[in-house]
Amino acid sequence: MIKLFGIYISKAVVLLGVIETLIFFLSMLGAIYLRHKYSLSPIPVDDEMLKNLPALFAVIMFSSLTALGLYQKGSMASSSGFLLRLILGFLVGGLAMASLFFTLQLFPLSERSLLTHGLIISILGILVARTLFVRVTSDKTLKRRVLVLGVGINADRIEESVKAKDTVGIVVVGYVNLGDRIELIDEERQVVKDQTLLEISNRLAVDEIVVAVDDRRKKLPNHELLECKIKGIQILDLLTFFEKELSIINIDLLYPSWMLYTDGYRQRALNRTIKKSFDMIVGIVIFIVSAPVMVLVTLASLIESGGRDPILYSQVRVGKNGKLFKVYKFRSMRTDAEADGVARWASKNDTRITKLGGFLRKTRLDELPQIFNILNGDMSLVGPRPERPEFVLQLSNDIPYYLQRHWVKPGLTGWAQLLYPYGASEEDAKRKLEYDLYYVKNASTMLDFIILLQTIEVVLLGKGAQ
């Protein structure tokens, strides 16, 4: 695993991204060659814009596949889901390229067939690359081999997580029994400590050791762990393992000293300035592009309610450092949704949601007025979703570290919105907090950009909408 822009990525996925970017580049290069070699009207290959076309095509198409989540864990868990993402990825990328061909008039009409040829060649190349990738990554001998110290509750957390999640890059080779009071790992998965950890690691070809004993006050074989580290075996604590493999900060395991000594949680003045500028520039662009859509939503709302109900809905939310502000949304619920004054989470098939509101929520169009909150400085483009004060008071009493999500500005979209489905309970809020704390720890401008890019998948596929 390597860390890029605040995200831990499998080396295999990084290699896949590089290979597929090269495929896109060579596909357009091949399309240009075929067009020049076999067309009755050869194209001018010395044209400066034409020389830049393969690189432009590669960047846009790679960005499109990234936006559709094709480099996320689990993107190829099902063939139907993968094909849907791939088709949408090529559709989005193709439309982006078409806008350059047709709208900006970058190339003569005679050269626009290059786009079609480039797309056809590249989709064939991507399918071949993905088929080979699945075969290679399914081979356990090529995965990072992990040895876990412990057979109790913490070790079982790893076992269950590995079973439930798509961990492309690792295989757990065994669990070393160091005398945990409770044994939850099956006996056949346990490794008897009849040798030193280095000898066991060499015998099992271990790349990484995770310390997951239940009681860390018991004496650990620290000398043996240090010996393994010196020999090039990576040593991780349980929190760091979950951060790398699941992109979360596990609340059940979190303790203050880990937050003090781990990397991250740094908000330098320069980074804050860059983020604010990024929010303003992108916010203005989104406002200009979405203005016609907001006008249409306004008209649809007036028609549905006959002009009797307000179009916009405002609600007090908790922002950075606990500051209260009013968030704006297109109204998606009946005006009497909380007539009794009791705050409620939205639920699946919520009867309070209007017909238009259901469409707005599914497409996330109800969130568009929050652009004004971003331009006003109360929100950011990316961050934890702002919550109501009533819920914050309840959740901060019941969930440890809940208030730490307010160390950064709330966002229009966020890490939790990408990786966790819509939540409507206290348990959901707890699980989403693990993703929010991951973002707070690793926040950066590039991570914001990646989250914004992958939000396209959330909107197009309606992930997590209620």
Dihedral over alpha carbons 187, 190, 195, 198 (to 10 degrees): 170
Task: Please provide the size of the chain in residues.
Answer: 466
**What pLDDT score was predicted for residue 238?**
92
Q: Give tens-digit pLDDT for 149-169.
A: 999 999 999 998 887 765 557
Question: Does position 141 have pLDDT exceeding 70, yes or no?
Answer: no
Which has the minimum average pLDDT: 81-95, 194-208, 253-267, 393-407? Answer: 253-267
Burial tier of 111 (Cβ tally within 10 Å: 0-12, 13-18, 19+): buried
Q: Give tens-digit pLDDT for 178-227.
A: 888 889 999 999 999 989 999 999 999 999 999 999 887 777 899 999 99
- Give the span between the Cα atoms of 66 and 55, in whole angstroms: 16
- Give the span between the Cα atoms of 445 and 265, in whole angstroms: 14
Per DSSP bridges, beta strands 144-149 and 7-9 are unpaired
Span between the terminal Cα atoms of the chain, in Å: 34
**What pLDDT score was predicted for residue 268?**
78
In this prediction, residue 337 has a pLDDT band, given cuts at 50, 70 and 90, of low
What is each CA distance from 56 to 22, 45, 124, in whole angstroms? Answer: 12, 16, 19
Which has the minimum average pLDDT: 161-175, 282-296, 362-376? Answer: 161-175
Residue burial 419-451, b: 16+ Cβ < 10 Å; e: rest: bbebbeeeeebbbbbbbbbbbbbbbbeebbbbb
**What pLDDT score was predicted for residue 7?**
78
Question: Does position 409 have pLDDT exceeding 60, yes or no?
Answer: yes
Question: Does position 465 have pLDDT exceeding 70, yes or no?
Answer: no
**What pLDDT score was predicted for residue 199?**
95
In this prediction, residue 355 has a pLDDT band, given cuts at 50, 70 and 90, of confident
| Helices (runs of H) and strands (runs of E) counted in the chain | 16, 11
Burial tier of 173 (Cβ tally within 10 Å: 0-12, 13-18, 19+): buried
- Give the span between the Cα atoms of 186 and 313, in whole angstroms: 54
- Give the span between the Cα atoms of 250 and 233, in whole angstroms: 24
Q: Which residue has the higher pLDDT, 423 or 363?
A: 363
**What pLDDT score was predicted for residue 408?**
93
**What pLDDT score was predicted for residue 309?**
79
* Cβ partners under 8 Å of residue 192, min gap 6: 177
Q: Which residue has the higher pLDDT, 41 or 398?
A: 398
- Give the span between the Cα atoms of 151 and 186, in whole angstroms: 9
**pTM of the complete model:** 0.83
In this prediction, residue 444 has a pLDDT band, given cuts at 50, 70 and 90, of confident
**What pLDDT score was predicted for residue 41?**
58
In this prediction, residue 135 has a pLDDT band, given cuts at 50, 70 and 90, of confident
Top CATH class, 140-246? alpha beta
Closest by CA position to 223, among listed 196, 185, 187:
196
Q: Which residue has the higher pLDDT, 239 or 348?
A: 239
Look up residue 17 and give its amino acid. Answer: G
Residue entry with tokens 């913490």: 154
In this prediction, residue 108 has a pLDDT band, given cuts at 50, 70 and 90, of low
Closest by CA position to 101, among listed 18, 28, 37, 40:
28
Q: Give tens-digit pLDDT for 2-60.
A: 777 777 787 778 889 999 999 999 999 898 888 777 765 555 555 566 778 889 999 99
Look up residue 86 and give its amino acid. Answer: L
Q: Where are the domains of the chain?
A: 2-137, 140-246, 269-335+346-461
Closest by CA position to 10, among listed 165, 127, 149, 123:
165
Question: Does position 455 have pLDDT exceeding 70, yes or no?
Answer: yes
- Percent of the chain scoring above 70 in pLDDT: 87
Residue 440, φ and ψ in degrees, nearest 5: -55, -40
Instruction: Please answer whether residues 357 and 392 qualify as being in contact, where contact means their C-beta atoms are separated by less than 8 angstroms.
Output: no
**What pLDDT score was predicted for residue 70?**
87
Question: Does position 328 have pLDDT exceeding 90, yes or no?
Answer: yes
Dihedral over alpha carbons 120, 124, 125, 131 (to 10 degrees): 160
Instruction: Please answer whether residues 156 and 162 qualify as being in contact, where contact means their C-beta atoms are separated by less than 8 angstroms.
Output: no
Question: Does position 102 have pLDDT exceeding 90, yes or no?
Answer: no
**What pLDDT score was predicted for residue 459?**
79
Closest by CA position to 253, among listed 439, 434, 6:
434
Question: Does position 378 have pLDDT exceeding 90, yes or no?
Answer: yes
131, two tokens: 């088929």
User: What does the DSSP 8-state code read for residue 144?
Assistant: E
Which has the minimum average pLDDT: 180-184, 234-238, 315-319? Answer: 180-184
DSSP conformation letters of 453-464: HHHHHHHHHTTT
